[in-house]
Structures are given as structure tokens and as C-alpha cells.
A and B are shown apart, each in its own frame.
Chain A
Amino acid sequence: MSRQDTSDIVFRRILAVFPISILILVAGIFFQLVSASLPSLQKFGIGFLFHTTWDPVAENFGALPFIYGTCVTSLVALLLAVPVGVGVAIFLAEYAHPKVAKVISILVDLLAAIPSVIYGLWGIFVLVPYMRNSVQPFLGKYFGFLPFFQGPNYGVGFLAASIILAIIIIPFIISVAREVILAVPSVYKESAYALGATRWEAIWDIVLSYGRVGILGAVILALGRAIGETMAVTMIIGNNVVISPSLFSPGYTLASVLANEFAEADTNMYLSALIEIGLVLFLFSIVVNILARFLIWSVTKGPSQVIK
């Protein structure tokens, strides 16, 4: 047993304060959300999660359309963003000239720094008209047999919101995935080449395989961002309390209903129901993170190897 210096003990105790304060913060948020949403919890019970009506006038509240909207927009955004993000990361790390990679990396970081309200405005004035005039008519014409691409074409809706979300989260995926790929030891790649592997084989079998945990981490980070993203989504999702399989349909998310209605919520039950929406969003994020953790464990076959 090594001798411990007093300053060492003091330093360790001081350091311990910080993680404990994070625990207290999370517990405090949870406690506050539960206590403030108590009237709503008592009135609607578990049914709050499954009701499809949101009527502030009659004080009849259900969260299902918002949960559905959050799931759909986040998942579609991931479907669009992951291939692009990882593709860009591979290009930057493996193919691009270092100078080109440097310039693109700076641009990617710049994209990540743009406030989401700017994306929202761009969405309203550029993306939505483009969706209505070009993208959605095309999808409706050639893929209209699928339930995802049916119904009236407004331009705003799930698809437009998902695309904005994808654009917002792509820089996060690129930044993290690129670092992960760069961290793959070159010995592995050189060994692959020595064995006669093509570049494609080296990247697919060696680099991506080695870095899969880190890339998954990037995806989870992006998913967290997509679930919580409020402003840009609110501006172009159409804010309509409906559950529709069509991506053309307007929808609503947990975060946007909070942003829209919190300021003017005038009765206690209304406010309480909105805070319960906040609670659902909070638990949603926790569940996603836990699922992600399990996913990473299953990929790395056991918790011991988790680095990221």
C-alpha cells in the first residue's frame, strides 16, 4: 500500500464533488419534473402515454402524437445522416488530400456551430418550397405506393423536419467518426494491404470494424441531439397533433409542443401536463442512452471493452 500525501487526499475529495454534483443535478431535475407534473400524473395515469388527444381547452391531454413525432423524425434523420456522415468521415480520413481534409473539417465545425433557428429559417424559406415543388411530388409519383409517401403535399411535415434534423446532426457524426477512423492504428491497415486487401476491403473490414464502437458512439450522440432539437423542428414540422404513417403529413414532437405552448399555459392542469411532456422527454433520452449502451455492449461482446 502506497503512502498517501495529505494534498493527494484533499485533491481526490475535491474532485469527487464534481461527479456527485452531476448526480444531484440529474436527480434534482427528475424530482422537480415529477413533483410539478403530479396533478397530471394523477389525473391521466399511464394513459397519458397512449392518448392521442391534446385539448388545452377541455384539459384533456395525451402525449402519443408527440412521442410518435419525436421517434419518426429522429429515426428518419438518422437514416439520412449516418451514411452521409460516415461516408464523409471515411473520405476525410482515408482519401482526401490533407489540405482538402483540413478545409472541409473547418467547414464541418462551422456547420455544427450554426444556431438551429438559422436552420429553421432556411428550412421555411428554402427547403420547404423545394420539398413541396420538387422532392415530394417526385416521391409521391414514383414511390406513392408506399404508405410513407401519400396524402396532401404541404412541404412542411415529418420529411422536411427529418431532413433539417439530418443536416443539423451530420457535422456531429462527421467530427466524431473522423477522429475514430484516424485513431485506427496504421499497422492494421498496412497488414491488410500486405495481405493483398484492396482499399475498400481495408476500410470496410479493418477500419470500420475496428472503429465500430466509436462510430456507434457518434450515432448515439447525434440521436440525442435529434431528440432534443426544438427550434428548427418547430418551425417546419407543421405542428399538428396527428399520427400518420405518411412522411408528408404535418406532425409534432415532444420538444416543439413545450416550446410552443409553455409560455401561455394558463391553468395548473395544462402546465402540469406540459411538464409531464418534459418528463417523458427526459425519460426518453435516458432510455435511448441505456439502449445505446446495450447496443455497444452487444457489439463489443461484453461491457469490459467499452472505451467510448
Chain B
Amino acid sequence: MKKILALMVAMAMMTSLAFADSTLINGAGSTFIYPAITKWFDEYSKTNPNVQFNYQAIGSGGGIKQVTSKTVDFGATDGPMTMDQMTQAPGRIYHIPMVMGAVAVAYNIPGVGKGLKLTPEILAGIFLGKITQWNDPKITEQNPGVNLPSSSIVVAHRSDGSGTSFIFTDYLSSVSSDWKGKVGKGTSVNWPVGLGGKGNEGVSGLLKQSPGSIGYVELAYAKENNLTYALLQNKSGNFIEPTIDSTSKAAEGANIPADFRFSIVNSSNPDAYPISGTTWLLIYKQMDSVKGKAIVDFIRWAVTDGQKLTAAMDYAPLPANLVDLIQKKLDQVKY
């Protein structure tokens, strides 16, 4: 009798120990979301000390691979998984939009300040190598009064595979059939012209040092480094400055499919900045009970309260209607 009692006490102690033990959630993927997710983890674990997070910013491609092979509990990607990749996964994967960001088109033209106006046609023309001089009639026509030099245009792009490139080429593909046919969209593409810089810092280095250059960087990076960036003409014909508001607007006009694998570039909202993108968390529909609950609770917090924290870091907050849809989606997750 004593033995059985002792055994029961021991078991009770072990189970209570197991519950007191904190849950470790592992994630990997997008570098774009890394600053946001680190901030979230930091704040979230203050109120939920029993959940611990570990996130490796190895790139979106790596995030998709690791979540598919189940070496991590969630992935993060700047471009949605393809149908092919979804079928390779061992279970049903949900895409949950977490943050949105804009890609700014920055330039360095001696004597020309902020706010150069660019149309989709001009931007595609420059990156295809068809427009090669700053005083090309197509550019001067949109910018009366701006003294554009006759110097040649130096195109700068990312050389490393990146979500920023994905959003930018996704945009060019959606506005230019020529671009779509010749180059297409991807984290790395076969650039027709230009110099490649490694990372945002590589591109901004090229921009700062090459007079007559144009390139693209994340909005937060362009702001921090005081790069001059362009106003872009959106689908409605308005010239829009990239801000977190005009980025959030992009999702308000977007047609949102049930699986959330949407693209918000070239939004039809008249106030939207057209080169905007999303980072998704990739989670399984069926998760184990402890981790599943922890992940879902964290996401619910991040898409609501968490958005205020990231807005200060130049990530655009998710619009309210999208947050409602995400909450409904999370109800379907089983754990």
C-alpha cells in the first residue's frame, strides 16, 4: 500500500513538473520578419513566461523546406508556397499573414530631391534596360520642372535571394507583360541589366556611391538610411509615397482568397502603394496539443496587440477585416 502511494506521489510530481516545464517553439524562415518576430517574442514571453521561442532567419526558401520536413514548428515566408510545395508537405499547411511591408524605389540623381514620380511603365522600362537615360522623354513627361540630367541610369538590385526581390519582381510581373515573359518573379531572377548588391546594405551602398543610380530596398531601411525614394503611380493613377498607411491600404483593396495565398502588389485601392508585400507564418492545420495551443495563442496576440509594436518598426499593420479572417482561420486549427 505504501509503495503504491509513493508511486502515485512520484507520478503526480512528474506530471506537475512536465506542466511547469516551458514549451519551446522552433521557427525558421524569412529574414524580413526577423526584427518583428524577435520583438514579439520578447514582449510575449514577458506575459507568458512558460512559452519560449527560437527563430532562425535562414530565408524564406529555407523556412518552407524546414517546415515541410517538420524540423521546425512553424515557417515564415515572404512569398506563398506553390501548389507543388504544398502537396509535398506531409500535412495541410495554413498561411497566416503576419506583417506587411513596402519596397521603396530609391535613387541617387545629383540635383534631384525626394519625390520623383515614376509610372509602372517607366520602372519596368528601366529595369528591362529599355530606358537608359534619366532625361528620357517618358520620365521628363511625368516630372515637369524637375531638372533631370542626361546621365545614364545605373540599375542596382539585390544579388542575394530575398523576399524583397520577390515582392519587387512580383510587382513588375503584374504591371508589365514584357517583364513577366522575359524575367518573371522570384527571390532571385535573371536580371536583364544592373549591378547586384548583397543585402539591403549592399544595394544602398551602390545607390549612395553611384550617381545616376536607382534600386529597391525595404521601406524601413530606406528611411533609416535617409535614401531618397520615388512616388509610384498605382493602379488608380495616383502617385503614392510609400508609408505604412499606404501599405496597409494595399491589403484593403486586395481580393483575399480563403487560403490567404494572396498578392497585394498593384492593389486596386486608390490610396495604396503598389509595391507592397506580406510575410506569412506557415503552420500545420493539425499540431500537437501543447505546442499547437501555444502557437495559436501567440499568433492571435501578434495579429492584434502585437501589430502596435511592429508599426513603430515601419511594418504596416494588418487591416481589421484581415485580422477577423485570420481569427476565423485559427479556429480551424486542431491541436
Contacts and interface: CB of A to CB of B under 8 A. Distances in A.
Contact of A260 (B61, B194, B198, B205): B198
A154 B210 CA distance: 7
B59 interface: yes
Q: Which 10 A-B pairs have the closest CB atoms?
A: A264-B161, A239-B196, A239-B159, A263-B59, A57-B184, A266-B61, A55-B190, A264-B187, A264-B61, A260-B160
A252 B191 CA distance: 13
A241 interface: yes
Given A56-B186, A155-B210, A235-B198, 4 more contacts: A56-B188, A56-B190, A260-B160, A266-B61
Contacts of B266: none
B275 to A, nearest CB: 18
Nearest to B58: A263
Contacts of A53: 190
Given A264-B60, A264-B61, A264-B162, A56 B196 contact: no
A152 B160 contact: no
A58 interface: yes
Contacts of B183: 57
B161 A238 contact: no
A156 interface: yes
Contact of B209 (A55, A129, A259): A129
Interface in B172-226: 183-191, 194-198, 202, 205-206, 209-210
B313 to A, nearest CB: 22
Given A128-B209, A239-B159, A261-B161, A250 B196 contact: yes
Interface in B42-66: 58-62, 64-65
Contact of B196 (A57, A260, A262, A266): A260
Contact of A57 (B65, B160, B186, B197): B186
A265 interface: yes
Nearest to B84: A267
A56 B189 contact: yes
Interface magnitude class on chain B: 20 to 34
Interface in A211-256: 234-235, 238-241, 250, 252, 256
Given A57-B185, A57-B189, A238-B195, A125 B205 contact: yes
Contacts of B186: 56-57
B195 A250 contact: yes
Contacts of A293: none
A202 interface: no
Nearest to B85: A266
A213 B132 CA distance: 52
B152 interface: yes
B154 interface: yes
A189 interface: no
Contact of B60 (A152, A250, A266): A266
6 contacts: A56-B189, A58-B184, A124-B202, A124-B205, A239-B195, A263-B161
Given A128-B209, A239-B197, A250-B196, A265 B61 contact: yes
A75 B119 CA distance: 44
> Which of B60, B65, B161 has the most A CB atoms < 10 Å from its CB?
B161
B80 to A, nearest CB: 11
Identify whether the interface residues of B are mostly helix, strand, loop, or mixed: loop
B209 A263 contact: no
Contacts of A238: 195-196
B190 A240 contact: no
Contact of A154 (B58, B154, B184, B205): B154
B160 A263 contact: yes
A54 B187 CA distance: 14
A266 B195 contact: no
Nearest to B190: A55
Interface string A115-151: 0000000001100110010000000000000000000
Contacts of B65: 266
Given A240-B196, A260-B188, A156 B59 contact: no
Nearest to A265: B61
B209 A234 contact: no
B93 to A, nearest CB: 15
B152 to A, nearest CB: 7
A25 B190 CA distance: 35
A264 B191 contact: no
A264 B32 CA distance: 12
A58 B186 CA distance: 10
Contacts of B196: 238-240, 250, 252, 260
B249 to A, nearest CB: 28
Most buried by A among B183, B190, B196, B205: B196
A264 B210 contact: no
Contacts of B189: 55-57
A152 B210 contact: no
A266 B65 CA distance: 8
Contacts of B210: 132, 154-155
A154 to B, nearest CB: 6
Nearest to A241: B190
Nearest to B213: A154
Contact of B159 (A128, A132, A152, A234): A234
A264 B190 contact: no
